[in-house]
């Protein structure tokens, strides 16, 4: 079977979005496929968890679960970059 006969693992948009990952020999199609099929649990959505969630989503991780028992406060918004003032008290 030639590469043109191989079923597409990604939509055209996903190929374009992740093309730089796919071109890296350390990741390639297999690695990006594993990312897409992976599940990650992030405990804590504060100063470290917030950017981690953004980067994991941008990298193409298939399922993200975020767990945080705290409440969003105005004094934390400068580090909790996934939240806005609309999230205060949540």
Residue 8 has what pLDDT?
62
Tell me: the pLDDT tens digits for 14-60?
999 999 989 999 999 999 999 999 999 999 999 999 999 999 999 99
Residue 10 has what pLDDT?
87
pTM for the full model?
0.79
Q: Residues for the chain: how many in total?
A: 90
Residue 4 has what pLDDT?
46
3-class SS at 86? helix
- In sequence order, what are the beta bridge partners of 40? 64
- pLDDT of residue 82 exceeding 90, the answer is yes
């Amino acid at each position: 079977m030639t590469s043109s006969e191989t079923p597409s693992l990604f939509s055209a948009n996903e190929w374009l979005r992740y093309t730089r990952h796919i071109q890296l020999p350390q990741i390639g199609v297999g690695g990006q496929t594993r990312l897409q099929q992976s599940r990650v649990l992030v405990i804590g959505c504060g100063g470290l968890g917030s950017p981690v969630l953004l980067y994991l989503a941008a990298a193409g991780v298939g399922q993200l679960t975020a767990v945080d028992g705290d409440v969003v406060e105005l004094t934390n918004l400068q580090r909790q970059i996934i939240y806005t003032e609309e999230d205060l008290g949540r």
